[in-house]
A = this chain, B = another copy of it.
Amino acid sequence: MSENRFNPMQTAFEQAIAARARGEVPIGAVIVDGKTGQVLAAAGNQIHGQNDPTAHAEIVALRLAGQRLGSPRLVNCDLYVTLEPCPMCAQAIAFARIRRLYFAAFDVKGGGVDHGPQIFRQPTCHHQPEVIGGVREREAAELLKAFFKERR
């Protein structure tokens, strides 16, 4: 298995670090065309910068990729994110028809994929992406831990 498929996660980490520099919680997301490998969108959290309670990295990236493709359905696209998506983002990922979801750290307190409502397992969820969790898990968890420690 090539390491190349995890290069988008590196870009997601760079977005997370850029978000931290803006005073946002350090989370980054990248959307890739799964057929060509082309990066369609890369974003970090923008909640405070945009005064937008919905501006998690994943939502911002889904919005950008939809505009770029000219469709709200991101067929054959994969999403990489440094933290397990929350229920809002997980449901948005299902609506966008994301093919594969790669995430780094697990989120016991706020996650919505492996934790909480486990959105993709709900009977009201009509699309289930393939999910690969724990990619560079420790690194992502440490990035978040350091951020919240500084904040206290």
Contact = CB atoms under 8 A, between A and B. Distances in A.
A65 to B, nearest CB: 9
B116 A124 contact: yes
Contacts of A43: none
Interface string A98-122: 0000000000011110011111001
Interface string A59-75: 10011001101111110
Contacts of A111: 124
A95 interface: yes
Given A87-B119, A116-B122, A67 B95 contact: no
Q: How many copies does the complex hold?
A: 2
Interface of A, secondary structure class, is: loop
A109 B92 contact: no
A95 B88 contact: yes
Nearest to A93: B53
Contacts of A52: 62-63, 66-67, 72
B51 A92 contact: no
Contacts of A76: none
